[in-house]
Amino acid sequence: MKKVIFISSGQDSLYCLHKALSETDDDVHAINISQQYNFSKVEIEYTRNYMNNSVEWLQKNVRDFKFTIVPEIDLNWGSQIPWRKRTYEGLSEESVKLIRAGNLKYKNDRFAMQIVERDFNFGHYGKFYNADEIIIGVDYYQSQNQARIDGTASIAQIEFGMDFNMPIAESKLGRISVYGALPEGLRDVMIPCSTAWRAGSEAKCNNCRKCLTSASYEKVNLTDSLTVKELDDILHNHVINHEKYQQLSAMIIVQQKLRAYLGISLAPINIGD
Which of 12, 85, 169, 162 minimizes the C-alpha distance to 153?
Answer: 162
Q: What is the pLDDT confidence band of residue 263, given thresholds at 50, 70 and 90?
A: low
pTM: 0.84
Q: Residue range 105-118: average pLDDT?
A: 76
pLDDT at 246: 43
Whether residue 47 contacts residue 197, with contact meaning beta carbons closer than 8 Å, is answered with yes
* pLDDT tens, position by position, 145-185: 767 767 777 888 999 998 899 999 898 888 888 999 999 99
* pLDDT tens, position by position, 205-252: 777 778 878 877 876 665 656 677 777 776 666 554 444 334 444 445
Task: Report the percent of the chain where pLDDT is more than 70.
Answer: 75
Distance (Å, whole) CA 94 – CA 227: 47
